[in-house]
């Protein structure tokens, strides 16, 4: 019995050892968290990257890779992302990909802030000079302040990551751009790689220093990829934050509200327009839209509505189109790298003009139809005599009692008469001939 008990204990210990070994093996299984950023840098992207870096830290990942393709974005969102990368307790690798991608403006700061900066052949980085989203000139004093801040920030990032400080600064002061080959030659990035797999193999064994001062050796060769996508809600917010989508939503809101106001009672256009307006204002707020541009677009809406109730022969519509185009151009003038597609602006302006003309035509046709209603529209219709008409009496016309004077033969109660004319509050009628 004692021998059997000893064997049982040995088996139990063996199972425990095997379980611990399996656990250690599982923990030692290297993996890399992979994030994908494609589009404008807005707050929801900053939240997504921060969540991905936190996940990599919590799961003990070998690294967190940000696959980047962006035309730029908001300064506040860029600051949040750079802060998350610079203070990460896990190596962060930014990989500008796929071919044809670019890391412009905000993307340049993000790439250079990473522990490892990499690019796919055929990609571009740079052009981080502050400009208005519409291409308009920012006031000289404001431009000088923004440029000075951006340059110093870029220098700080490049110095901390041991990159070429002067070339990095030129991306801000002279809006200089670099191909992947040029960026590697001047020391802005660390490596060029044809694919993510090649990148992870190439940087395996590289030493990087984290924010806490710890130096770690990258173990990325053969690491398991752990793609971490945006949640559905994050994707929804990111789509809303696209300047073109925000602009389209505002346009749809305008169409819905103008339709509801010009034709009360339709309900659906008003409800849909209200929802689109709320979503548009959310997007405009996130994108730090210039409210002077929003005011001009609202003025355009007001002019389009006024056209439906005022005979201006198209003057208000022309003013509305002018306000709409001007507001669209300056809408994102405060946000570098963010702008509405000019072709979309032209299409919306043309569509708004056509829609306004259509509504105006419908209103005019409605007004013409209204002239044939009321008292004047009673001429030629049938009424019913309620009292004898000899020649004066009372008739029932369109549910109302009218004083009537009969022409020709007298009319008995209950007989039908034809209304010949409406004279103030009195009708001239004639007995209908038998069919």
Report whether 207 contacts 217 (CB < 8 A).
yes
What pLDDT is attached to residue 157?
A: 94
What pLDDT is attached to residue 137?
A: 44
Name the more confident of 287 and 169: 169
CATH, domain range 29-234: 3.90.226.10
In the 8-state DSSP scheme, what is residue 377? G
Q: Is 214 exposed, middle or buried (0-12, 13-18, 19+ CB in 10 A)?
A: exposed
What pLDDT is attached to residue 363?
A: 56
What pLDDT is attached to residue 115?
A: 95
In the 8-state DSSP scheme, what is residue 435? -
What pLDDT is attached to residue 18?
A: 44
Q: Which residues contact 415 (CB under 8 A, 6 or more apart)?
A: 384, 385, 431, 432
What pLDDT is attached to residue 139?
A: 53
Phi, psi for 116 (deg, rounded to 5): -130, 125
Name the more confident of 7 and 356: 356
Tokens of 344: 């979309």
Tokens of 119: 């690019």
pLDDT in tens, 303-324: 877 766 666 666 777 888 888 8
DSSP helix/strand/coil, 392: strand
Compute the distance between CA of residue 199 and CA of residue 210 in angstroms, rounded to an integer.
20
How remote is the C-alpha of 376 from its chain's centroid?
52
Report whether 104 contacts 336 (CB < 8 A).
no
Compute the distance between CA of residue 412 and CA of residue 386 in angstroms, rounded to an integer.
8
Confidence grade of residue 21 (pLDDT, cut at 50, 70, 90)? very low
Q: How far is CA 10 from CA 4, 5, 7, 20, 289, in A?
A: 10, 9, 5, 15, 71
- The average confidence (pLDDT) of the chain is 81
Q: Which residues contact 224 (CB under 8 A, 6 or more apart)?
A: 29, 30, 31, 32
Q: How many CA atoms lie within 13 A of 157 on its CB side?
A: 33
User: What CATH number matches the domain at 376-431, 3.40.50.1000, 3.10.105.10, 2.40.50.140, 3.40.50.880?
Assistant: 2.40.50.140
Q: Which residues contact 41 (CB under 8 A, 6 or more apart)?
A: 70, 72, 73, 74, 77, 78, 81, 106, 107, 110, 337
What residues form DSSP beta bridges with 126?
A: 104, 177
In the 8-state DSSP scheme, what is residue 409? S
Confidence grade of residue 433 (pLDDT, cut at 50, 70, 90)? confident
Compute the distance between CA of residue 122 and CA of residue 99 in angstroms, rounded to an integer.
5
Name the more confident of 20 and 246: 246
Compute the distance between CA of residue 347 and CA of residue 324 in angstroms, rounded to an integer.
12
Neighbours of 119 (CB within 10 A): 31
Confidence grade of residue 136 (pLDDT, cut at 50, 70, 90)? very low
What pLDDT is attached to residue 108?
A: 94
pLDDT in tens, 204-235: 999 999 988 889 999 999 899 999 999 999 89
Phi, psi for 36 (deg, rounded to 5): -125, 115
pLDDT in tens, 249-302: 888 887 787 777 766 667 888 888 889 888 888 888 777 777 778 788 888 877
Confidence grade of residue 183 (pLDDT, cut at 50, 70, 90)? very high
Report whether 427 contacts 421 (CB < 8 A).
yes
Q: Please tell me the least confidently modeled range out of 22-31, 130-139, 249-258.
A: 130-139
Region 37-46: what's the mean pLDDT?
91
pLDDT in tens, 55-89: 999 999 999 999 999 988 888 899 999 999 999 99
Region 170-199: what's the mean pLDDT?
92
What pLDDT is attached to residue 119?
A: 95
């Amino acid at each position: 019995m004692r021998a059997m008990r000893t064997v049982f204990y040995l088996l139990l210990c063996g199972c425990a050892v095997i379980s611990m070994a399996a656990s250690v093996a599982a923990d030692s299984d290297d993996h890399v968290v992979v994030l994908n950023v494609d589009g404008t840098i807005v707050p929801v992207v900053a939240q997504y990257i921060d969540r991905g870096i936190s996940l990599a830290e919590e799961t003990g990942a070998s690294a967190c890779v940000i696959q980047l393709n962006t035309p730029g974005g908001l300064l506040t969102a860029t600051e949040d992302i750079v802060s998350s990368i610079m203070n990460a307790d896990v190596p962060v690798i930014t990989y500008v990909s796929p071919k044809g991608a670019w890391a412009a403006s905000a993307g340049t700061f993000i790439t250079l802030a990473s522990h490892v900066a990499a690019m796919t052949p055929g990609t571009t980085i740079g052009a981080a000079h502050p400009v208005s989203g519409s291409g308009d000139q920012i006031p000289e004093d404001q431009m000088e302040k923004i440029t000075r801040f951006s340059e110093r920030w870029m220098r700080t990032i490049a110095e901390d990551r041991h990159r070429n400080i002067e070339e990095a600064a030129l991306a801000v002061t002279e809006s200089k751009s670099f191909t992947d080959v040029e960026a590697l030659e001047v020391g802005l990035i660390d490596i060029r790689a044809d694919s993510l797999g090649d990148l992870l193999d190439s940087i395996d064994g590289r030493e990087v220093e984290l924010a806490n001062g710890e130096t770690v050796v990258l173990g990325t060769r053969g690491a398991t990829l752990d793609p971490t996508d945006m949640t559905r809600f994050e994707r929804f917010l990111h789509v809303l934050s696209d300047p073109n989508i925000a602009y389209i939503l505002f346009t749809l809101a305008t169409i819905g509200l103008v339709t509801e106001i010009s034709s009360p009672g339709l309900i659906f256009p008003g409800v849909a327009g209200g929802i689109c307006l709320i979503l548009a204002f959310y997007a405009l707020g996130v994108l730090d839209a210039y409210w002077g541009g929003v005011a001009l677009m609202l003025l355009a809406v007001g002019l389009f509505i006024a056209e439906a109730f005022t005979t201006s022969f198209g003057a208000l519509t022309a003013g509305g189109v002018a306000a709409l185009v001007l507001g669209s151009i300056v809408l994102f003038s405060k946000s570098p790298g963010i702008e509405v597609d000019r072709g979309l602006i032209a299409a919306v302006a043309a569509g708004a003009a056509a829609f306004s003309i259509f509504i105006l035509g419908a209103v005019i046709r409605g007004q013409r139809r209204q002239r044939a209603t009321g008292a004047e529209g009673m001429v030629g219709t049938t009424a019913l005599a309620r009292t004898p008409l000899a020649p004066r009496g009372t008739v029932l016309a369109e549910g109302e009692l009218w004083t009537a004077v009969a022409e020709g033969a007298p009319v008995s109660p209950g007989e039908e008469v034809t209304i010949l004319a409406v004279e103030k509050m009195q009708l001239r009628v004639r007995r209908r001939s038998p069919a």
